[in-house]
Amino acid sequence: MNTSSSPITWRFLLRVLLKTALLFVAINLLFATAVTPESYGRLTLYNRLWPGRDRLPYGENPAESYNLSLNNLPAMVASHRLAQPKADDEFRVLLLGDSAVWGWLLPNEDTLAGQLNAMNLQSADGRSLTFYNLGYPILSLSKDLLLLDEALAYQPDLIVWLVTLDSLAPAQQLNHPLLWHNAPRTRELIQTYQLPLDAADGRFVTPTFWQRTLVGQRQALANWLRLQQLGAAWQATRVDQFIPAEFTPRASDFEVDESWQGVDTAVPLTAADLAFPMLAAGVQMAGDVPVLIVNEPIFVSDGQNSDLRYNAWYPRWAYDQYRELLAETAVTHQWSYLDLWQLVPGDQFTDSPVHLTAVGNQLLANELAKRLIETGRLETGD
């Protein structure tokens, strides 16, 4: 019996290569037509194999922070502890806002959510309060609105939305990669709530057919997979941010300058000059879930030219008018509103006019809990 194998011919190799190429094309065509970032983004090891993260993934150095930035909105929220099943005796509170809420330069236990959770608060009907940190860096109410749209599926009982002047600046509203890379959802929000935003903004990403294939999605898929892999290190260390030993503190002295958002000198502001429709959309979107809007604390300087500017971000003329307009708009729309702009002393800010120290966040957490208890929504735990 002849047991020798048949010789490999060029014709055989060509057939193999052709079949491989056809299979490769078929897989890419199938992926482009049947798989979306939203669909695979909801597949996660968090809250299953790994514990859910305390804050949304954000970072540029995974090796040091066991974290990374990605633009897959469902994957971001699926990795968060918010995505775990809601307990029967749980009262869920979402904290929305910017990097100050996210907790820049702070471990999770020192963030606003971390300090509020340590208080063991209870709702008026006896449920245990759990605060979820959905803050995310870069100032933009539209970004907050997009996150709220995803998070409402997880049954919140209260939403606390921390805002500041720059988060209401019109130029900031579409100035966020999360909005650009979730263009269909952002456009849907614009249409549904009649937001004064440009649905044809050139920064919106509309993938071509090729970019929707497996090859075209390789970077996004790699980020999604890397986020899953980092869960083991997150579980072991609970480190999700590189915090340097030293940083440049926020400025206290300023040049003679009253500019804000491209406006060089003091001008009258009206409600139309600020992004109040985003707040209105958030309250409407929340439906029966109460929303508390909080004007977050800012650094107030007493240094050089502090008679012109409160801090490096805000000239007095712009910020004072913003506070007045926000208070008036809250009354007009019957929003629950709390102004805490001067709550935290200046020495409890770190590298920006809104980033707080652990002590600053403790002051803010205490005041928020106090106000919520006064309104009858909460009571102290045992």
Where does the pLDDT of residue 377 fall: very low under 50, low under 70, confident under 90, or very high at 90 and above? Answer: low
pLDDT digits (tens, 9 = 90+) for 253-277: 999 999 999 999 999 999 999 999 9
Task: Provide the mean pLDDT of the chain.
Answer: 93
Separation of alpha carbons 154 and 74, rounded Å: 12
Where does the pLDDT of residue 376 fall: very low under 50, low under 70, confident under 90, or very high at 90 and above? Answer: low
* Secondary element (H or E) of residue 163: strand 158-163
Question: In the predicted model, is pLDDT for residue 23 greater than 80?
Answer: no
- In this prediction, residues 350-362 reach a mean pLDDT of 98
- In this prediction, residues 198-222 reach a mean pLDDT of 90
Position 3 scores a pLDDT of 52
Position 381 scores a pLDDT of 45
Amino acid of residue 38? E
Q: Are 257 and 312 in contact (CB under 8 A)?
A: no
Separation of alpha carbons 296 and 311, rounded Å: 14
Separation of alpha carbons 372 and 353, rounded Å: 25
Nearest to residue 149, comparing CAs of 40, 284, 242?
Answer: 284
Position 278 scores a pLDDT of 98
pLDDT digits (tens, 9 = 90+) for 40-56: 999 999 999 999 999 99
- In this prediction, residues 287-297 reach a mean pLDDT of 97
| Residues linked to residue 159 through DSSP beta bridges, in sequence order | 94, 291
Query: Encoding tokens for residue 304?
Result: 């050089």
Higher pLDDT, 62 or 198: 198
- In this prediction, residues 176-188 reach a mean pLDDT of 96
What DSSP string runs through 202-258?
TTS----TGGGSTTTTHHHHHHHHHHHHHHHHHHHH---S---S--PPPP----S--
**Percentage with pLDDT > 90 across the chain:** 81
| Residues linked to residue 93 through DSSP beta bridges, in sequence order | 131, 158
Position 19 scores a pLDDT of 75
Question: In the predicted model, is pLDDT for residue 382 greater than 60?
Answer: no
pTM higher than the cut 0.85: yes
Query: Encoding tokens for residue 17?
Result: 């290569």
Position 378 scores a pLDDT of 57
Position 373 scores a pLDDT of 84
Separation of alpha carbons 268 and 83, rounded Å: 44
Question: In the predicted model, is pLDDT for residue 1 greater than 60?
Answer: no
Q: Strand 122-123 and strand 378-379: pairing?
A: antiparallel
Q: In what order do the strands lie in the sheet with 336-339?
A: 336-339, 291-295, 158-163, 90-97, 128-135, 122-123, 378-379
Position 62 scores a pLDDT of 76
Higher pLDDT, 372 or 97: 97
Domains and CATH numbers, the chain: 43-244+257-379 (3.40.50.1110)
Q: Which of 14-18, 121-125, 194-198, 207-211 is predicted with the least confidence, judged by mean pLDDT? A: 14-18
